[in-house]
Every structure is written in structure tokens, then in C-alpha cells.
Structure 1
Amino acid sequence: MKSRPCSASSWRTPALALMIVSTLAACSSKAAPQAAADTPHNVTLTAAQRQHIHLLTMERSSFHRRIETSGVVDFDHDRATQVLAPFSGPVTAVLVNPGDKVKAGQPLARVDSPDFAAAVGAYRKALAAAHAADQVAATDRDLYAHQAISQREHAQAQSDAAGADADRDAALQALLALHVDPQTIAAIREGKPVAHGQGVIRAPIAGTVVEKSIAPGQLLAAGSTPCFTVADTSSMWVMAQLFGDDLAAVRNGDAATVEVGGDGATMPGKVTNVGSVVDPDTRSIGARVLVANPDGVLKRQMYVRVKIRSGDARTGLLLPVSAVLRDDENLPFVYVAAADGGYAQRTVTLGDRVDDSFEIPDGLHAGDKVVVDGAIFLHFMQTQ
């Protein structure tokens, strides 16, 4: 039987199929390295290189959250007061300047005050009236004992004396309200003359004159014109701002640290009050931190950094800051010892910072061995 020659279609089909298979194999061999390059692989080291890698076995531990925020310095309002004019009249002399240390009762200014003159005159009259009424009452008591006057006359004399004594005491209180010193009051009782119309504004507490609002010649209105502010600056308030979840972590009595200036100097303090009203401008709630200020470093309206250590203990995984790296998208990751002896890259979630560590709420588990020293070297090896 005579053999039939092959047609073009009969030999082209197997050849074409062979070419397609070869092409696909070539494409597959080129795509495989690219896919492997995009997939993170474990880093393997020699025994000598492993000597420079330090691991930390993760364990759940108890810690206290630390809140970092800003604050503004203010006076301790329990040790500061604004001095209002106790009487009306023009200022004749200002005796202190801002920054001066004053004692309680020390003169701050002199005022030519008709209120002062009227109070002195009223006290003199009340003294004289009380003295006369007391003498009449004493005489009537003796007369009544000898039945020389009636009981009604005796009772009236005693009532007049009691009323006069009450008027005298009220006039004395009016002088004390005007900050009249004991020496002037003693002189009035002895009938001696006093400076006519010269009222004295005195410091109600000991401290530092931090503000002066009056000048000689200025007319004061009793009870309304602010004259001075005196504050004890040996302790100050720092009003720290709390936002969001930080509010739930702060309690009265929590320890705090105030950072002053850029040199890292710190001052210890304590939270004494947590506010309940949201500031409409900053959307924050204020926490008052009491700070001892013996050297006067803190000044009113100064901006400071505040770190508050929450008194509420929490439990979680803590990882040193040195163990955390960032990828090209700024996402945090660490290296964990893998079962094959290498080191695997693992993405983590960072929680609150606690001193030199981060809380890790997600990405790690108790028992994981994390590279805390040498992570940068591992990253370099992985990216080569």
C-alpha cells in the first residue's frame, strides 16, 4: 500500500502546540521570580550573625498608661486673690510694684477717702455714746439696788447701754472692713487724732504682687475697682488638656510630670481636679495639676508639656520601641523568630506608649519571640 504524504495542516498543528507550550513555560519561568520577590520571605542568618540578634519573649504584664498633652500655667487660685478697693476716693500713693513680696496686712496704696473719714467719725461717736450709756446703766443699777428708781427706769438704762454697745461694735467692724490697722483703732479709742481721710489698702494675704491696676490720682469705687492681685507663687496650677479616651484614664491623685522649656527640665506634680465641662474652642476637658514652684520657674500663661501617669493598672503586651520598624507605607512591623530558624516580618498595631515601650493590642501573642536588637540589620538583609 502506497503511503500518503502529510498535508501542511497535519504537521503544523503539532509544531504550533509545541511552540505554545514552550512559550508558556518561558513566561512561567520569568513570572515566578517576580512573584517571589513581592512575597516577604523569612530572613536566615549564620550562627555568627545570630550572636548579634537579641530576642524578647512576649509576656502579658501589668502597666500604667501615660497620657502626654499640653497645658497652661495659672496661679493657685486657693492662694491668690484680687484686691478690690475697700473705699472710694482718689489714690494718693502706690506703695508697691509688681514682683514685690508682701506680708499679710502690709500697706499697698493710700487713698484720700471720705468713706474712711466717715467711718472714723462714726466710730468716735459710737465710742462716746457707748461710754455714756454704760455709765448711766452702772449708776441706775446702784440706784435700783437701793430702791431709788423704778424697775422700768432700771430696765430702760440697761437696754440703752446694750444698744449703744452694739452700735460701737458695728462701727468697729466697719473700720475693720476698710482694713484699718490696729494702731489707728487704738488711737481712736484713746481720743488721739488720726490722718484725716487717708485710707490704706492692705494685702489680704502674704505673697507676691503679680498685678498692679491703679496709679496715683485714679478715682476708686468702693467694692468694684480692682487694684492689685496678690498670689502665693510657691505652688502653681497647670491646666492640662484631655481629649477623647484620655479622660477616662485620669483620676484625682494621679502623678504627673511637667516639662518646662526645651532643655528637658521636669517638675513633679499631682492631679487635683478633673473638669466636667468641654471647652468649646479646643473640645477638651481640663485637668488641674498642682506643682510646687519654690524657685519661681513656672509663670502664669506659660505653655508646658504634661505627662500624667494613670493610677489605673492595665494588662497587655509591652514591646520596646527599638523593636518597631516602619515600612514604605509607614506601617509598623517587627521581626519574630520563625519555626524554620529564620526571622519573619510581622505587621503589628501600636497602642499607648508606656515609657520606652509600646502596648501591642494586635499582631503579637504571648510566647512570641520578637527581635528587640538587630531588627534594622534583618530588614537590610531582607531587602537585598
Structure 2
Amino acid sequence: MVAALALLASCGGKPDSASQAAATTPRNVTLTQAQLQHIRLYTVAASSYRKTVEASGVVDFDNDQATSVLAPFSGPVSRLLVEPGQKVARGQALALVDSPDFSTAVSTYGKALATARTARRVADADKDLVQHNGVSQREEQQAQTDAANAEADRDAAAQALASLGLDPKAIGAIQPGRPAARAQGAIRAPIAGTVVEKLISPGQLLQAGTTPAFTVANLSQVWVMAQVATSDLPSISVGDPAEVETGVGPNTLTGVVTNVAGLVNPDTRAVLTRVSVANPGEVLKKQMYVRVRISARQASTGLLVPVSAILRDDENLAFVYVAQADGSFARRHVTLGDRSGDQYVIPAGLQAGDRVVVDGGLFVQFMQSQ
């Protein structure tokens, strides 16, 4: 009797591992012909692909086409001529300044102009006189030297006015002996673009070369600074095409990688990657957060399946449904590799020739749970 009980106890112990696996493995799903009409299959095959790296990014000005405009002279602001958001041409006046520096430069040019004219008249007269022995050759040569020096001083004074923002027409209107107009200097746009910042106000006292007055930027092209993980660095390089999504509207903007930083951010452990993006309609604004997809130009080969084929189980593990020889569908876990557009590379879990469900997978999963 004792031996019989012991035998029964041994037979009624814990189930073996094979029984446990059979109990936890989902059964295959068989669908009717009507249900199969809503299922689309994809045959897995080795394909060439280009890895897509996704990253977050922040919009910035194209610093090659944006500049901070400093006051070229000192003095109080008398009038503002533009507002933020206004488009300006190169050389356009942005503000007027009552500047003693400007007044001094105008006066210096007027004096240099008068001196140069007088010196040239003397030099021309001595050139004629030396031919009639009216002056010595040494005196004539000295007169020519004095005239050349005076003209050099005149040109330098004119260049000083130009550097202060005075246009050539206004410089040409300055004549010695004439009363000077009100000494107002103009702060001018050094490039064509949009006024994105106005940093001064009427009456504000400016310091030459130190007071920032405006920021002008060409917004038709911007930079997107993407944070790329170090593990993705081998897959990208300068010249790779990129797409930028703003999350506002359906439009996707295209760009190209123009720089990959040589340093890793110690806080994020990511590498700053610059993408130059055309900005039609000026949709992208500075400091806007965007999503960036960079497509590697170097091609690789692997087994790819559409993203729509990938499902997740209760443990968040990726799986697909594979068509079986008997017409049923079996769940198979897969390892996800690189993403290329709307496809995933599958390093493990599938073989070439497998047919996976790409449309209707959620329905198959529902039927399997019944």
C-alpha cells in the first residue's frame, strides 16, 4: 500500500518543462476564407537597405547667413526704421543715431577733400611751371608727393565714412565750405534677410562696436541641431540626406548633414549633428523642437519586414505572425535591428521565404486570444 501511494505521489508531481512550454505557447490561428480576405502577407527576402537614424533636434539660425548688427558709432538713437519680422535688403538703414563720431568723420572728410583739391591744383601748376623753369624740379616733385599724400588722406576719410554706414552717393554730396547736414549716422543691414531681433530703443545711448542693435538672419535656410546617439555614429556621415518633421501639419522638410561634432555631450552622451534644411514659408523657427531622420548613404543587406508587421506581447517583446504550411498562422518572436524608412531589419527570428502578416495582424492576435 505504501509503495502504491508513493508511486501515485510521484506521478502527481509538478509538470515537466515540455508541458509548461505547451501551456504557455499561444496556439496557431486558423482563419476562414472570408477572414483571409482581410489579411495581407509579405514574403521575407534579403534586401539592400539604408539605415535610418532617428533623433530629436532643435532649430537654429544658419550662422553662415545670420549676424548680430553692432552700432558702428556712439550716440543716442534718434529713430528706429524697422520692426522685428521685417525683411530688409543689404545696406538698408535700420536706425538713425545722433553721433558725434559721425559728425567728426564728416568734418574730417570735408577737410581732407579740400586739402586734396588744393594740393592737386598746386601740383598741376608746378608741373607746368617746371617746363618753363618757373620752379625747380625738386619743388615740382615735392608738390606731386604732397598731392598724392593728400588724396590718400581723402580716400581714407571717405572709407571711414563708408564704414560708418554712409552710402557713396551721400559721401559724394559732401563739399568743403558747405554747411553740414544734421550729423545722423545710419545703422545698416550688413546682409539681406529678416530682422529677427531689435535690441535698442529711441533715446538709448549706444557705444561704438560694443552695443548690439539688431539681429538679421536669412530664414530661407536654417540649421537643425540633432542629438545623435553614439551607437548610431558609424551609420551617418556628412552629406547624408535627412528629413525633418515639425509635428505641425503633414509636411516633411528635407535637408542634408553638414557637420558631425567631434565631441560628446557629457550630459546627454549624444553627439551634436548639424543638418542644413531649406525652410520654405519659414515654417521652422529658432528653438523649435523637431524630429530628424537621417538616411545613411552606405547600403547594407539584411532581412526586412514592414513596420506594420511588428506586434508586441504582454512583455513588450516584438513578434510577427508567420503563415504555416497547413494554412494557420504562428506567433514568432523576432529581434529588431536597424530601421530603414517604414521597414525593420530582422537579425534573428525569420528566414528568407517566410511569409508574415503585414496587414490584419491585430485581428489575428485577437482571434488567437479567444
TM-score of the superposition, structure 2-length normalised?
0.89
Aligned in 2, Cα 1:111/1:341: closer, same or farther, shift over 3 Å? closer
Aligned in 2, Cα 1:91/1:274: closer, same or farther, shift over 3 Å? same
Which residue of 1 is the match for residue 23 of structure 2?
A: 38
Which of the residues 336, 351, 356 maps onto 1:365? Answer: 351
Q: Are 2:237 and 1:229 aligned?
A: no
Contact between 2:58 and 2:288, CA under 8 Å: does it hold in 1?
Answer: yes
**How far, CA to CA, are the matches of 1:162 and 1:132 in structure 2?**
11
Q: Give the 5 Å matches for 1:179-218.
A: 179-189=165-175, 192-218=178-204
Which residue of 2 is the match for residue 79 of structure 1?
A: 65
The 10-residue stretch of structure 1 (228-237 or 115-124) with the greater mean CA deviation from structure 2: 228-237
Aligned in 2, Cα 1:32/1:148: closer, same or farther, shift over 3 Å? closer
Cα displacement (A) at 1:338: 5.2
Contact between 2:94 and 2:186, CA under 8 Å: does it hold in 1?
Answer: yes
Contact between 1:187 and 1:194, CA under 8 Å: does it hold in 2?
Answer: no
Contact between 2:239 and 2:257, CA under 8 Å: does it hold in 1?
Answer: yes
The 10-residue stretch of structure 1 (184-193 or 226-235) with the greater mean CA deviation from structure 2: 184-193
Residues 16-49 of structure 1: per-residue CA shift (max 9 Å, x gap): 4455445545x27987995464363762747848
**How far, CA to CA, are the matches of 1:30 and 1:300 in structure 2?**
64
Q: Are 2:316 and 1:330 aligned?
A: yes
Aligned partner letter, 2:126: D
Which of the residues 118, 128, 135 maps onto 1:149? Answer: 135
**How far, CA to CA, are the matches of 1:36 and 1:133 in structure 2?**
108
Q: Give the 5 Å matches for 1:312-351.
A: 312-337=298-323, 343-351=329-337
Which residue of 2 is the match for residue 68 of structure 1?
A: 54
Residues 216-254 of structure 1: per-residue CA shift (max 9 Å, x gap): 111111111101111121222211111112222222222
Which residue of 2 is the match for residue 117 of structure 1?
A: 103
Q: Are 2:325 and 1:306 aligned?
A: no
Cα displacement (A) at 1:267: 1.8
Cα displacement (A) at 1:263: 3.5
The 10-residue stretch of structure 1 (138-147 or 60-69) with the greater mean CA deviation from structure 2: 138-147
Identity of aligned residues (%): 56
Q: Are 2:292 and 1:286 aligned?
A: no
Residues 74-94 of structure 1: per-residue CA shift (max 9 Å, x gap): 112222111101001111111
Cα displacement (A) at 1:133: 1.0
Aligned in 2, Cα 1:206/1:263: closer, same or farther, shift over 3 Å? closer
Aligned partner letter, 1:38: A
**How far, CA to CA, are the matches of 1:30 and 1:109 in structure 2?**
88
- 3-state SS, counterpart of residue 83 of structure 2: coil
Which of the residues 241, 244, 250 maps onto 1:258? Answer: 244
Aligned partner letter, 1:172: A
| Greater radius of gyration (CA) | 1
Aligned in 2, Cα 1:41/1:113: closer, same or farther, shift over 3 Å? closer
**How far, CA to CA, are the matches of 1:17 and 1:206 in structure 2?**
101
Aligned partner letter, 1:43: N
Aligned in 2, Cα 1:162/1:262: closer, same or farther, shift over 3 Å? closer
**How far, CA to CA, are the matches of 1:108 and 1:101 in structure 2?**
11
Contact between 1:74 and 1:236, CA under 8 Å: does it hold in 2?
Answer: yes
The 10-residue stretch of structure 1 (268-277 or 57-66) with the greater mean CA deviation from structure 2: 268-277
Cα displacement (A) at 1:376: 4.6
Cα displacement (A) at 1:274: 2.1
Aligned partner letter, 1:154: E
Residues 294-334 of structure 1: per-residue CA shift (max 9 Å, x gap): 31221111111112222121111101223323233221223
Contact between 1:187 and 1:193, CA under 8 Å: does it hold in 2?
Answer: no
TM-score of the superposition, structure 1-length normalised?
0.86
Aligned in 2, Cα 1:201/1:375: closer, same or farther, shift over 3 Å? closer
Q: Are 2:154 and 1:173 aligned?
A: no
Residues 277-300 of structure 1: per-residue CA shift (max 9 Å, x gap): 333443322222222223122111
Cα displacement (A) at 1:174: 0.5
Cα displacement (A) at 1:128: 0.9
CA RMSD of aligned residues (A): 2.8
Cα displacement (A) at 1:171: 0.6
The 10-residue stretch of structure 1 (30-39 or 201-210) with the greater mean CA deviation from structure 2: 30-39
Contact between 2:113 and 2:176, CA under 8 Å: does it hold in 1?
Answer: no
Aligned partner letter, 1:104: R
**How far, CA to CA, are the matches of 1:86 and 1:35 in structure 2?**
83
